[in-house]
Structure 1
């Protein structure tokens, strides 16, 4: 990933946004709805964390490659049926963008689930989010966003216990690789959103990812993928971890620059820790609470910076 390609995605992708529907017209799947871009990102993060917890329980049944294959295949089927994307009328560049998006999606999922098969979910998410944080620094042209990224990075490391020396090195490598592919996913998600209406590009990219990963899943899990319970759980994981969050993120990237979106991704470890406290009764230490506060402060700062920048562009200059 070059600095030039990263910086090119920092521009807001409003030019590809779907035209507003007339009052009273029914909304099609993939329309932005009433949530703002920040709300879309947060809703997607919550969905991912609950889907990730369910996926961990599925791993003894199908293994990491099997879970990823089920997740991507079920998500692709749902999106293709609901979105019914047009296959004609797209340029070679459009198809190249979709293919790259699908490859990044498959790699990101595969590497992450290989990581959580070796190290705990919290540290894995914490390490993975370093990819979007690095992207936020590369994609932003404002020094203040580097400050927000640094603050979020400090919170991420505090949430990880201040170090990862006791973790399996292979698992750490997979998590860092997943983070790098997450950054690539952000870039191509934004480009796909500009080239395709609604969630059409996402549906096509998901199909690419599923086709790429299905042979690996079949090789690793075999007939276990046909177990009805496994299929049902895999479909639930697909909805929570792929269909909902990827659609929400694609819509958000049409109205948020990649730099702000990447810093918002630092909320993922905080959401995971909060869900563990509320759902699983896992208590938070003072260090973990401080880490969550730092990450949230960085995210709020990034959003306020972007909002202020947008107002400066639209407010007229007073006449002398």
Structure 2
């Protein structure tokens, strides 16, 4: 087995940024692409809030450009799915589905977090055509239009309030009579005159016409009565699932599965393993913040491999 200096798991903005920095530093990183090369950004249409693109850029094109940039400096890519990391020995050993094991002196985990779906007809088919999982990313496109937010937690209230900056009306649909959000977040949302409520209703179908979302079907949980709610856009705010199951608990995570890193760094609980992007970000989940932590991870790896970071882990994660 050929040993690698650094293996990057994941090819979203974080992983590709780390690859660009490490390749330019002559570290020759190996990047493992999973089942969705380019990450969630490849599922979006226009990206208008990534710096440097005046007219915007498609998510697929942005990720393709970043990949080619990393390749230009010497990063190599392989397609595969990491099923296990053996952390009890140095160097680390990564098990890859359908391929030989890989040995690495250091690892960057940038596997991201996947938005949770309702699992209803018309939902994934209309993603990027009226269905979104990010109000910050897509809210601008709904200026003067009616939109729906599905969810009852703090994230849903935050997204609903944010969307009122653009939309003429925001309807919050939640499957229960009571919201799960904190009182302060509920109060803010209920005090916003642009926000309407459809509680105790289950969203059952996304309806589209000529490639555009026109509304959703909901069912009252008590009466079982079905209703059609017109909308120009549907925002899902029911949470994310970090893609960390393959770690099998070998790297410390929080109760929701997000990798815990030392504040101000990308150091995990295992010396030599680093995490960047949405897999460790419980707050922002933006392409630009993911890219920023990818840069941080690359710089941390350089210091680690040069032997300058050995003491940092002694005071890292409790």
Same topology, TM > 0.5: no
TM-score by length of 1: 0.25
Greater share of helix: 1
User: Quick one: higher RCO (CA 8 Å, sep 6+), 1 or 2?
Assistant: 1
Pick the structure with greater CA Rg. 2
Greater share of strand: 2
